[in-house]
Amino acid sequence: MRTTVVGAGSWGTAFAAVLADAGHEVTMWGRRPEVCTAITKDHANPDYLPGIELAHGIRATDDPQRAIEHAEIVALAVPAQSLRANLAQWVDLIPRQAVVVSLMKGIERGTALRMSEVIVELTGVRLERLAVVSGPTLAGEIAERQPSAAVVASVDADVARLVQGACHTGAFRAYTNVDVVGTELAGAVKNIIALAVGMAVGLGLGDNARASVITRGLAEITRLGAALGADPYTFSGLAGLGDLVATCSSPLSRNRTVGQRMGRGESAASITSGSRQVAEGVTSCASVLELARRAGVEMPIVEQMSLVVAGQQSPAETVQTLLSRSAKPERHGH
């Protein structure tokens, strides 16, 4: 199949490598010409995946029309908060019959829309032609062809199976799901929980504290998902618990790393301003909290991390606030 990956960051490049390994023709779009040249001529993306050799068949261009025209699958891997601005330029370039795949894990600022909702709103593409790929997808490991698994979610089971087959390789295994809402929510909110876990690490807290944040974070994700009509089973699977554990545990996780630096005293603004790579938990904090408030869902970890990210509260104050909350039974809904 003719496939396009829009976005030449670490995850977009890793997914392009998966598509190439699966035998497809892969064209990438990148914002910076020098990155596109490195991918096409040097078969490498040293800015985002240093030391990884890419398949020689992957081509990259900074011309969106050349990248997208004639594609049968268009995978979008730009930062979540830049999706709307980028799509506004590309909307007329996406072939009518192409399947659009979202690789993004975020909630849009200002609208509190999931990425699939932004895509449908701007492009008019039917939800049945859209799929979401999520799960424990640490880009470096996938690019190294380490065994990995993910979820392909689409409201159309046939589209989910099409994308599943397109990205199936000896090292990358995809499972299908029809719960787009739950898959997207899990992918977006787990980034904020990873910030909190990283912050605990930076503060010098132990494994008990980290495990508690992961577990209570999963409860928050599940509550939000239930309120918005997601399948609760999604949150115990790869898109939920699997992605949460990987992102909260691995030093390869940008969100955990940013959280760790915050725990050591750096501000979120200073950390992100000095990095090309986006920590989606930082940029989605306020929008996830807004979504939760609209749904009438209590999410104390997300609320506290929003204050830290905004510079309105210190990490130590956040821990104290969470610990001083009134005791409740541990059951669904609390």
Where do the structural domains in the chain lie, given as residue ranges?
A: 2-178, 191-323
Confidence of residue 38 (pLDDT cuts 50, 70, 90): very high
Tell whether the model's pLDDT for residue 333 goes beyond 70. no
Conformation bin of residue 23: beta by default, left when phi > 0, alpha when psi is -120 to 50: left
Active site residues: 190
Structure tokens at 61: 């261009």
Q: What is the DSSP letter of 81?
A: G
What pLDDT does residue 288 have?
A: 96
For residues 139 and 13, is the Cβ–Cβ distance under 8 A?
yes
Structure tokens at 107: 């909630």
Q: Which of 135, 322, 320 is nearest to 216 (CA)?
A: 322
What pLDDT does residue 116 have?
A: 97
CA separation, residue 141 to residues 13, 20, 112 (Å): 12, 16, 31
2 Cβ neighbours under 8 A, 6+ residues apart: 24, 25, 27, 70, 71, 72, 73
Tell whether the model's pLDDT for residue 43 goes beyond 90. yes
Exposed/middle/buried for 205, CB within 10 Å: 0-12, 13-18, 19+?
Answer: middle
Q: Which of 76, 171, 64, 83 is nearest to 132 (CA)?
A: 76
What pLDDT does residue 313 have?
A: 93
Edge-to-edge strand ranges of the sheet holding 148-153: 59-61, 25-29, 2-6, 73-76, 99-102, 130-134, 148-153, 172-177
pTM, entire model: 0.94
For the chain, give the percent of residues with pLDDT over 90: 88
> Tell me, which fold does domain 191-323 have in CATH?
N-(1-d-carboxylethyl)-l-norvaline Dehydrogenase; domain 2 (1.10.1040)
- CATH-assigned architecture of domain 2-178: 3-Layer(aba) Sandwich (3.40)
What pLDDT does residue 332 have?
A: 53
CA separation, residue 289 to residues 110, 165, 218, 299 (Å): 11, 35, 15, 7
pLDDT digits over 269-322, tens only?
899 886 777 788 899 999 999 999 999 999 999 999 999 999 999 999 988 888
Residue pointed to by tokens 């992100």? 272
| Beta strand extents in the chain (DSSP E only) | 2-6, 25-29, 59-61, 73-76, 99-102, 130-134, 148-153, 172-177
Confidence of residue 331 (pLDDT cuts 50, 70, 90): low
Q: Which of 110, 114, 111, 119 is nearest to 84 (CA)?
A: 119
For residues 47 and 175, is the Cβ–Cβ distance under 8 A?
no
> Around Cβ 140, how many Cβ atoms within 10 Å?
17
Rounded Cα distance between 256 and 260, Å, is 6
